[in-house]
A = this chain, B = another copy of it.
């Protein structure tokens, strides 16, 4: 270590359990961080500050205003900029000795193995279930320890997967959640919401577990699921055994290479297809004039961008259901397709059988038909 490094890291090298030996291990380590979002911000900040030698940042997205209640690595002057690039720039100023690899792309079954292979450890701060299964399976196949964390409203989960202990790899995501529930049961931050400070707590916990795994220090959450509820400040730490039925790591593995994770997480794909229309199908229907379009977003979202549908916010669909025809073509839409599916499920309980969901919502329309629509 240089004299400057000795000073920079002195507050942690002074700790007996960490010491200069711990610091040397971090300086020689490499970590891949998936997602530079709500969880990614504290993960990246604290891993950089701690002196990890090389950090890969995977994010294809750009900074938007609704990120700023939790993604504290970015600011109002950076709206529209690349999250991965902007992160690298900020983090390099925090610790010039850390090397950063910017991966401005979406991780998928084609590129995941090559992306992950060069790193010692992976931290998953992604925001959808398909990516979580993908990263889990790839890390298992490559024998890489994986730090897991996820958030919803006031609740967060943390665990450590594939960690080597006594020569054996610990449990993984498929021991926790063997099969995904239908998509509408797994709301994202944009559909379900998240209190801004929650990813700060959970992301920092993930960075802490990453450091412990890299330094082989203390006792990690391998084989355990930690659940934090910020609303009542309660914690649960549950023991998760490796399952013999795990299709990846169980007694009779059925998954030996990466699969199609989008399809896997969509569940009953055929059912869905019949109940969904694509934005191109909707465009055609609108041109033909034979469709009623119901928009279940909030007023202010409608003001930002709309497709001329009838506005009935999700929490009003039941009380205002007489405005929705019970026959003919009715398409229900929202921002990304989650709330509209929920509206359809609610209306089904009232006997509706003619409702179709707009796949991907207005954001899909923007991406495929009208780029002039304002994003939010």
Query: Hey, which chain B residues are within 8 Å of A74, CB to CB?
Result: 94
- State whether the Cβ of A197 lies closer than 8 Å to any Cβ in chain B: yes
- State whether the Cβ of A190 lies closer than 8 Å to any Cβ in chain B: yes
Partner-contacting stretch, out of A103-111, A231-239, A342-350: A231-239
- State whether the Cβ of A68 lies closer than 8 Å to any Cβ in chain B: yes
Query: Hey, which chain B residues are within 8 Å of A17, CB to CB?
Result: 153-154, 231
Closest CB in chain B relative to A297 CB, distance in Å: 10
The CA-CA distance from A211 to B200 in the complex, in Å, is 14
Chain B residue, CB-CB nearest to A3: B300
Contact at A201–B205, with CB atoms within 8 Å? yes
Interface of chain A residues 208 through 253 with chain B (CB within 8 A): 208-209, 211-212, 217-221, 224, 226, 230-235, 237
Partner of A207, one of B200, B220, B221: B200
Contact at A15–B46, with CB atoms within 8 Å? no
Contact at A12–B196, with CB atoms within 8 Å? yes
Contact at A6–B204, with CB atoms within 8 Å? no
The CA-CA distance from A3 to B302 in the complex, in Å, is 11
Chain B residue, CB-CB nearest to A50: B196
Partner of A12, one of B11, B193, B204, B376: B193
- State whether the Cβ of A353 lies closer than 8 Å to any Cβ in chain B: no
Query: Hey, which chain B residues are within 8 Å of A207, CB to CB?
Result: 197, 200
Closest CB in chain B relative to A64 CB, distance in Å: 8
The CA-CA distance from A259 to B46 in the complex, in Å, is 38
The CA-CA distance from A97 to B234 in the complex, in Å, is 32
Contact at B96–A195, with CB atoms within 8 Å? no
Contact at B49–A72, with CB atoms within 8 Å? yes
Query: Hey, which chain B residues are within 8 Å of A6, CB to CB?
Result: 300
